[in-house]
Amino acid sequence: MISERLKFIASLIPPAKTLADVGCDHGLLIIEAFEKYGLEYAVAIDNKEQPLKSAHENIKKHPFFPKVRFSLSDGLADLKEGEAEAIVIAGIGGILMTEILKKGLERHRKAKFILQANRNLFELRKFLYDARMEIASEKIIFEDGQYYEIIVSRAARKPLNYTEEDLIFGPVLRRERHPLFIRKLEEELKRYQEIGYENVREKIERIKEQLYENQNDR
């Protein structure tokens, strides 16, 4: 069954009608996008045989099967320029995601990237910033005891100037202050305060600042 996380990611694909799902695994995101969001074409990409086979099995049961190209390949290497208006990379770590983008971003700068990294969000945001990719929107959801942050990124049309705090917490998340974002920070703060060691002091101060200070600047 498809997770709320993947359902939410699928809802961010429109108005794009063509999609590449990098690390598609079971293929459920592609199915959701065809069924609910009028997708017209998809490339299902995975670098391992078994997951791609499972995507093939699942998608084969649907009428849109002929509109899906299955690719056993690494990251964006086999995706043709202009083949997908939206590119989703979800459910992997931020470092691996950054490696995938480093190798393949240039050819796909016109695409809308929907990125959900499980960890190392700072490294991912920093890479996007250095690559002149704007963080156009950021969403946060909570499922099965986990917070997931989703970044929608596009090539920047004007110079970007993200601060270190933006890269740590997310430029849009810290501006919009969604209740889930605040809850996540409060929980992190409590965890760090319980640890109480000197080496988390800086983290504690940074989180406090997000939560309680600088609010007049917004």
Ligand X SMILES: C[S@@+](CC[C@H](N)C(=O)[O-])C[C@H]1O[C@@H](n2cnc3c(N)ncnc32)[C@H](O)[C@@H]1O
- Segment 94-153, which members bind ligand X (CB under 6 A)? 96, 100
Draw the binding track, 33-72, toward ligand X (x: CB under 6 A; -: no contact): ------------xxxx--x---------------------
Whether 94 and 121 have beta carbons less than 8 Å apart is answered as yes
Under the binding rule (CB under 6 A), the answer on residue 93 touching ligand X is no
Cβ atoms within 10 Å of 156's Cβ, excluding its own: 16
Residue nearer to ligand X on the CB measure, 92 or 207: 92
Q: Rounded to whole angstroms, how far apart are CA atoms 85 and 57?
A: 25
Whether 140 and 166 have beta carbons less than 8 Å apart is answered as no
Whether 135 and 109 have beta carbons less than 8 Å apart is answered as no
Under the binding rule (CB under 6 A), the answer on residue 6 touching ligand X is yes
Residue nearer to ligand X on the CB measure, 47 or 137: 47
Minimum Å gap between C-beta 165 and ligand X is 27
Minimum Å gap between C-beta 209 and ligand X is 32
How many residues does this entry show for the chain?
218
Among residues 108, 106, 111, 113, which one has the least CA distance to residue 85? Answer: 111
**Residue 171: what are its φ and ψ, rounded to 5°?**
-60, -40
Q: Which stretch binds ligand X (CB under 6 A): 18-26, 128-136, 153-161, 186-194?
A: 18-26
Q: Rounded to whole angstroms, how far apart are CA atoms 38 and 84?
A: 14
Q: Rounded to whole angstroms, how far apart are CA atoms 56 and 75?
A: 18
Residue nearer to ligand X on the CB measure, 6 or 172: 6
Of 19, 39, 75, 94, the residue at the interface with ligand X (CB under 6 A) is 75
Draw the binding track, 19-38, toward ligand X (x: CB under 6 A; -: no contact): ---xx-x-------------
Residues that bind ligand X (CB under 6 A): 6, 22-23, 25, 45-48, 51, 74-75, 90-92, 96, 100
